[in-house]
C-alpha cells in the first residue's frame, strides 16, 4: 500500500524548534519530489516547502524561509522538516505530500502547536 506517515509534532514554546518526519512506503520514494503543506486550525491549506527527488531543487514559502529546512534521506525513504524560531502562527497540522501528476498521495498529518 502506498503510504505516507508523518510524526514529530507536538507542543513547543515560541522560539523553539521541532523536527517533523514523513515515512514513505509502497512506492519508490527516491523517484519523486516531496512537499510539506500545512493547515492552521479552521483555515485553508498553505504550501510550505518542496524538495526534488535528487535534492537539487528546494523551494520555500516566504512565511517560513530562513526558519524551516526541508531535507530527505532516500536510503531511509524519509522526508524531514526542521522548524526553528517557531511562532504562534506556525500552529497547524503539517502534511507531507508526494508530487506526481499533482500532489497525489498525502499523509494523515501531524499537529504542531506553538504556545507558551
Partner 1 sequence: EIVLTQSPGTLSLSPGERATLSCRASQSVSSNYLLWYQQKPGQAPRLLIYGASSRATGIPDRFSGSGSGTDFTLTISRLEPEDFAVYYCQQYGSPPYTFGQGTKLEIK
Where on the chain is the footprint of partner 1 (CB under 8 A)?
35, 37, 44-47, 50, 59-62, 95, 99, 101-104, 106-109
Give dist(CA 41, CA 36) in Å, integer: 16
Nearer to partner 1, 13 or 25 (CB): 25
Q: Which of 111, 10, 22, 11 is nearest to 70 (CA)?
A: 22
Q: Long-range contacts of range 61-68, CB-CB < 8 Å, 24 or more positions apart?
A: 63/89, 64/90
Q: Report, in Å, the least distance between residue 93 CB and partner 1.
A: 9
Yes or no: say if 12 and 86 are a contact pair by the CB < 8 Å rule. yes
Report in angstroms how near the CB of residue 83 gets to partner 1 at its nearest.
17
Minimum gap (Å) between residue 20 Cβ and partner 1: 15
Minimum CB distance to partner 1 smaller for 66 or for 102 = 102
CB of 87 to partner 1, least distance (A): 18
Tell me the longest C-alpha to C-alpha distance in the chain. Answer: 40
- Measured from the CB atom, is 77 or 111 closer to partner 1? 111
Amino acid at each position: 500500500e502506498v503510504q505516507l506517515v508523518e510524526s514529530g509534532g507536538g507542543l513547543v514554546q515560541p522560539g523553539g524548534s521541532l523536527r517533523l518526519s514523513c515515512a514513505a512506503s509502497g512506492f519508490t520514494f527516491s523517484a519523486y519530489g516531496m512537499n510539506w503543506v500545512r493547515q492552521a486550525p479552521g483555515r485553508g491549506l498553505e504550501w510550505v516547502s518542496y524538495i526534488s527527488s535528487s535534492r537539487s531543487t528546494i523551494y520555500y514559502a516566504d512565511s517560513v524561509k530562513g526558519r524551516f529546512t526541508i531535507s530527505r534521506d532516500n536510503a531511509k525513504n524519509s522526508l524531514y522538516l526542521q522548524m526553528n524560531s517557531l511562532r504562534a502562527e506556525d500552529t497547524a497540522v503539517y502534511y507531507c505530500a508526494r508530487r506526481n501528476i499533482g500532489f497525489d498521495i498525502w499523509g494523515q498529518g501531524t499537529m504542531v502547536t506553538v504556545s507558551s
